[in-house]
C-alpha cells in the first residue's frame, strides 16, 4: 500500500533550460548544460541563504523541480533568488562558449504538496510546470535575449510579490497561459542582461578610438566574434590584440596544452602562428574544474615568460579582467597549487598520430643525470630500462630506444643481460659531451636542478628536435605490446593496454625509481606510486579523449567529431522506461557525478578509467541505496549503482586486505577476467547489493580489461556476463523492453518486476 507523506505548504521553484534540445547542440553540449544547471542552482540558492541540499528536488532532464525546506519564507524566492540567479548565470556564462551557455525559465509558486513515496505531487506543482510552458513567456523570452524569464503564478504574485514594494511587482507583466487543461494568468519578469551587449557597454569607449578604428579591428579579425572573448569589452580586446599579434612564443603548443589542462586534446594548430591566434583557439574552450578559462591561463603563462613592460602589461590586463569576471580567488588558488611546469601526456593509443605534432621539452635535457645517490654515484650516466609484458617484438623496441638516445647526442655505455619471462633489460646511457671529471659531474647536477625549476625549452633548436617527434619511432614500436614501461633518464613511457602515458620525471621521482626498481616492471602501479596522473597533476598535460576531462566535459570526444556516445542511447532507453513505468524509481537517480569526485577515484586507483564508465557517471551519480532502498533504481541482480564518492570509500574498504595471490610486489599476477579468492586492488566497485556483494570493473591488463566482475564476500570475484559497462546497460535496457513485449507472462529469473510502484528484479 502506498502511503502519502503529510501535506506541507512549500515554496516551489521549477526550472527549465531554454533550447536544451536544440539540434545545434550535441550530446556533449547537453551533458554540459545539465551539469551547469546544477552548478548554477546550488550557487544561487547558497547565495540566497538556502542550502540546496536541504531542499527536495527532482531532476526533469532539461530542468528540475525544487521544493524549499518547510518553513522557508516565500519571499526568499521572489526577493533574493532572482538577483542571485542573474548574477550567478552571468558569472557562469562568462567562462563558457555559446553552445554551453545557460538561459533559464524559472517559475515560482507555493502551496500544499505531498509525496506518495514515488515523487512529489499536488496542484501547485502542476501549476508551476504549466506556467513554465506558457507560449507567451517562451516567445517574449526568446526575443529579449535575456538570461532569465521569471514566471510567477497568479496566486504567488497576489499573496507574496504584490504585497511588498521591495519585490518590484511593477517589473512583472501579466501574460495569458493556456497549456493542456490549465487556463489562467501568470506574471512574467525578464532579467539578466545578454552577455555580449553587457560586455560592450561595460566600459566607455576611449576618445582616441574612433568607430572607424573599431570597425577596422573587428573586420581584421572576425574570429573575435562568437567566442568567450565576446564577454570582454571590445576596447580591451583591441589593446590585447595589438600586443599579441605576431608575438613569437617558443613551444607555443606546450603552453596551449598547459592552459587547456587535463582531459582536453590539443586542438589542431594549422592556423596558430602567434600568441593572438593561440588565444583565439583557446577562447572556444570552457573553463576547467578551477573555473578559469583556458585563454586566461594561457595569458598568465605567457606573462610569466616575458620580461619587462610586455609581461607587466599582460599581467595588468589579466588582473583587470579577473576583477570584472570575479576570478580573483580562483586565480589565487591556481597560483598556489601550480607546480613546476614539467611535461606530462596521457592519451589513447589510437589518437597517437594527432598528438605527435605536439612540442615538448629539450630531449637532451631529459637525459642529464639526476641528483647523485648511492646507486648512481659511480655510473656517471643516466639509467635506461625497458620492460615489456611479452618478449615478442623486443628487438624493435630496443632499437627504437637506442636511436632515441643517439638522437639526443648520447650513447649507450652499458648493456645488461635481458631478463626472460616477460622481457626486461637495463642499460646505462651518457651524454657524449659530459666530462668524466668532478667539474663535469657538478655541471650535470646543476643542469638537473634547472630541469625542475623552469619550463624546459630547447637550448639549440637546430640540434634538438621536439620531444614528441623524436618519440614517434619508440611509441610506434610499442603498439603491439600489451603493456610496457620504458625509462630513459628523466623520460618515462608507460603503456597499459590502449592507454599511453609520457612523463618528464623530477629528480625526486627518479630517485624513487632508483630505490624501487620493481616499479619499472609494473605498468599498472608505477604512475600511482610516483604521484603521476593527468587528472591530478597541475603540470602540462595533454590528454586524449578517453580520459575524463575537467567538468563538465566527461564524455569522450574524438578531435573534430561528435562525442563517442555508446552508453548514452542505452541509458536513455532505461530512463525513458523508468519515467513511464516507475516514476518513483526514476526519481531516485542522482544528477551527474561531480568531476572532482571522479578525479579523486582515478587518483586513488592510479588507473585510467574506461570511457564507458566515465560516460555513465557523466549522466548520473548513482542512487542512495540506504535512504531509498525500497524504490531506488537497481541493475539486474538488484545491484544499486554507487555514488562516485561511495565508490572510492568502498574500494578503500575492500582493498584493506588485497587478494594475496594476485596483488604482490606492487603488481598483479593475473590478467583481467581471472577469478580471485579475495578482492584485487585493480577491481573498481561500481554497484553494491544489500548483502555486500558488488559489481566491479576489472582494471587489470589483458584482453578482458574493463569487464564487469561479480564479487561476493567469502567467495571472491568471478566474471559476470557483461564485457563492460556498455554491455551491462544495453542488457538492462533490453530486459526492460522485453518485459513490455512479454506483458502478462510469468517473470523468469533475471526479469524486471514492478512491485509497489518500484523496479526490482526476480
Q: What is the pLDDT of residues 112-152, one digit of tens each?
A: 888 877 778 889 999 999 999 899 999 899 888 889 999 99
pLDDT at 669 over 70: yes
pLDDT at 321: 73
**381 within 8 A of 413, measured Cβ to Cβ:** yes
Mean pLDDT of 593-606: 78
Q: Which of 43-57, 544-558, 564-578, 652-666 has the highest mean pLDDT?
A: 43-57
| Rounded Cα–Cα distance for residues 549 and 557 (Å) | 10
Q: Place 695 in a pLDDT band, splitting at 50, 70 and 90.
A: very high
Alpha helices in 95-201 (DSSP H): 123-132, 135-144, 154-156, 195-201
Grid cell in block for residue 576? 525513458
pLDDT at 447: 40
User: Rounded to 10 degrees, what is the CA torsion of 616, 631, 106, 147?
Assistant: -10
**At 65, is the secondary structure helix, strand, or coil?**
strand
pLDDT at 44 over 60: yes
Mean pLDDT of 598-621: 81
Least confident interval from 8-22, 213-227, 429-443, 748-762: 213-227
Grid cell in block for residue 609? 578509467
pLDDT at 65: 92
**At 79, is the secondary structure helix, strand, or coil?**
helix
User: Whole-number mean pLDDT of the chain?
Assistant: 74
Contacts of 18 (CB under 8 A, 6+ apart): 103, 104, 105, 141, 142, 149
pLDDT at 187: 95
How many C-alpha atoms does 707 have within 13 Å on its Cβ side?
A: 20
pLDDT at 174: 93
Q: Place 559 in a pLDDT band, splitting at 50, 70 and 90.
A: very low
pLDDT at 529: 79
Q: What is the distance of C-alpha 61 from the center of its chain? A: 20
Least confident interval from 102-116, 216-230, 567-581, 718-732: 216-230
Q: Place 376 in a pLDDT band, splitting at 50, 70 and 90.
A: very low
Q: What is the distance of C-alpha 442 from the center of its chain? A: 43
Helices and strands in the chain: count of H runs, count of E runs: 25, 26
**104 within 8 A of 60, measured Cβ to Cβ:** no
Least confident interval from 241-250, 386-395, 470-479, 516-525: 241-250
**At 114, is the secondary structure helix, strand, or coil?**
strand
Least confident interval from 158-172, 530-544, 692-706: 530-544
Q: Place 230 in a pLDDT band, splitting at 50, 70 and 90.
A: low
Q: How far is CA 316 from CA 298, 300, 320, 334, 556, in A?
A: 14, 10, 6, 17, 36
**77 within 8 A of 68, measured Cβ to Cβ:** yes
Question: What's this model's pTM, rounded to 2 decimal places?
Answer: 0.35
Contacts of 590 (CB under 8 A, 6+ apart): 620, 621, 622, 623, 624, 643
pLDDT at 442: 43
Q: What is the pLDDT of residues 715-730, one digit of tens each?
A: 888 889 999 998 999 9
Grid cell in block for residue 678? 579475495
pLDDT at 2 over 70: no
Amino acid at each position: 500500500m502506498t502511503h502519502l507523506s503529510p501535506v506541507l505548504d512549500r515554496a516551489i521553484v521549477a526550472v527549465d533550460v531554454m533550447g536544451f534540445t536544440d539540434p545545434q547542440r550535441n550530446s556533449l553540449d547537453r551533458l554540459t548544460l545539465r551539469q551547469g544547471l546544477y552548478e548554477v542552482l546550488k550557487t544561487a540558492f547558497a547565495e540566497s541563504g538556502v542550502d540546496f541540499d536541504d531542499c527536495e528536488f527532482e531532476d526533469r532532464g532539461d530542468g528540475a523541480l525544487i521544493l524549499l525546506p518547510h518553513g522557508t519564507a516565500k519571499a526568499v524566492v521572489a526577493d533574493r533568488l532572482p538577483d542571485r540567479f542573474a548574477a550567478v548565470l552571468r558569472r557562469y556564462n562568462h567562462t563558457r562558449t555559446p553552445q554551453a551557455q545557460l538561459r533559464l525559465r524559472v517559475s515560482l509558486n507555493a502551496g500544499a504538496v505531498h509525496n506518495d513515496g514515488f515523487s512529489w505531487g499536488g496542484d501547485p506543482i502542476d501549476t508551476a510546470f504549466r506556467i513554465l510552458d506558457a507560449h507567451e513567456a517562451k516567445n517574449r523570452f526568446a526575443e529579449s535575449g535575456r538570461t532569465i524569464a521569471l514566471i510567477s503564478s497568479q496566486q504567488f504574485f497576489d499573496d507574496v510579490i504584490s504585497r511588498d514594494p521591495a519585490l518590484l511587482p511593477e517589473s512583472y507583466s501579466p501574460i495569458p497561459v493556456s497549456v493542456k487543461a490549465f487556463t489562467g494568468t501568470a506574471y512574467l519578469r525578464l532579467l539578466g542582461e545578454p552577455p555580449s551587449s553587457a560586455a560592450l557597454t561595460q566600459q566607455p569607449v576611449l576618445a582616441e578610438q574612433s568607430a572607424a578604428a573599431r570597425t577596422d579591428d573587428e573586420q581584421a579579425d572576425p574570429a573575435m566574434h562568437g567566442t568567450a572573448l565576446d564577454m570582454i569589452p571590445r576596447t580591451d580586446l583591441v589593446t590585447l590584440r595589438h600586443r599579441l599579434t605576431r608575438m613569437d612564443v617558443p613551444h607555443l603548443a606546450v603552453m596551449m596544452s598547459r592552459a587547456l589542462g587535463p582531459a582536453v586534446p590539443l586542438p589542431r594548430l594549422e592556423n596558430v602562428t602567434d600568441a593572438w591566434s593561440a588565444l583565439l583557439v583557446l577562447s572556444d574552450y570552457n573553463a576547467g574544474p578551477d573555473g578559469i578559462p583556458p585563454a586566461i591561463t594561457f595569458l598568465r603563462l605567457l606573462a610569466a615568460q616575458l620580461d619587462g613592460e610586455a609581461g607587466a602589461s599582460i599581467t595588468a590586463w589579466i588582473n583587470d579582467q579577473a576583477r570584472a569576471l570575479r576570478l580573483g580567488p580562483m586565480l589565487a588558488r591556481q597560483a598556489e597549487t601550480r607546480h613546476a611546469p614539467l611535461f606530462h601526456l596521457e592519451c589513447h593509443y589510437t589518437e597517437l598520430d594527432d598528438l605527435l605534432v605536439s612540442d615538448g621539452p629539450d630531449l637532451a635535457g631529459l637525459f642529464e643525470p639526476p641528483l647523485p645517490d648511492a646507486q648512481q654515484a659511480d655510473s656517471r650516466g643516466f639509467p635506461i630500462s625497458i620492460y615489456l609484458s611479452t618478449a615478442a617484438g623486443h628487438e624493435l623496441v630496443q632499437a627504437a630506444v637506442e636511436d632515441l638516445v643517439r638522437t639526443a647526442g648520447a650513447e649507450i655505455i652499458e648493456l645488461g643481460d635481458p631478463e626472460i619471462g616477460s622481457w626486461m633489460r637495463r642499460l646505462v646511457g651518457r651524454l657524449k659531451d659530459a666530462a668524466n671529471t668532478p667539474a663535469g659531474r657538478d655541471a650535470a647536477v646543476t643542469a638537473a636542478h634547472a630541469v625542475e625549476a623552469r619550463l624546459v625549452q630547447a637550448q639549440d633548436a637546430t640540434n634538438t628536435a621536439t620531444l614528441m617527434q623524436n618519440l614517434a619511432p619508440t611509441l610506434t614500436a610499442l603498439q603491439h605490446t600489451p603493456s610496457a614501461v620504458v625509462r630513459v633518464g628523466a623520460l618515462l613511457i608507460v603503456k597499459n593496454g590502449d592507454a599511453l602515458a609520457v612523463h618528464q620525471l623530477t629528480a625526486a621521482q627518479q630517485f624513487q625509481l632508483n630505490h624501487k626498481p620493481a616499479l619499472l616492471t609494473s605498468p599498472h602501479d608505477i604512475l600511482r606510486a610516483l604521484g603521476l596522473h593527468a587528472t591530478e597533476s597541475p603540470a602540462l598535460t595533454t590528454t586524449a579523449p578517453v580520459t575524463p576531462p575537467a567538468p563538465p566535459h566527461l564524455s569522450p570526444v574524438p578531435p573534430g567529431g561528435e562525442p563517442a556516445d555508446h552508453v548514452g542511447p542505452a541509458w536513455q532507453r532505461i530512463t525513458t522506461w523508468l519515467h513511464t513505468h516507475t516514476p518513483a524509481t526514476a526519481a531516485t537517480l542522482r544528477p551527474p557525478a561531480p568531476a572532482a569526485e571522479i578525479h579523486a577515484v582515478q587518483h586513488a586507483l592510479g588507473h585510467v578509467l574506461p570511457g564507458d564508465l566515465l560516460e555513465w557517471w557523466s549522466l548520473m551519480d548513482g542512487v542512495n541505496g540506504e535512504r531509498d532502498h525500497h524504490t531506488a533504481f537497481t541493475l539486474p541482480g538488484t545491484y544499486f549503482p554507487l555514488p562516485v564518492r561511495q565508490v572510492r570509500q568502498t574500494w578503500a574498504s575492500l582493498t584493506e586486505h588485497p587478494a594475496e595471490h594476485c596483488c604482490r610486489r606492487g603488481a598483479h599476477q593475473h590478467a583481467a577476467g581471472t577469478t580471485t579468492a579475495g578482492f584485487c586492488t585493480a577491481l573498481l566497485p561500481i554497484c553494491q547489493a544489500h548483502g555486500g556483494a558488488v559489481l566491479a570493473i576489472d582494471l587489470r591488463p589483458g584482453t578482458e580489461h574493463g569487464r564487469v566482475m561479480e564479487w561476493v564476500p567469502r567467495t571472491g570475484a568471478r566474471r559476470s556476463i557483461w564485457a563492460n559497462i556498455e554491455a551491462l546497460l544495453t542488457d538492462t535496457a533490453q530486459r526492460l523492453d522485453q518485459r513490455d513485449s512479454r506483458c502478462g507472462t510469468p517473470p523468469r529469473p533475471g526479469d524486471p518486476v514492478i512491485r509497489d510502484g518500484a523496479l526490482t528484479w526476480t
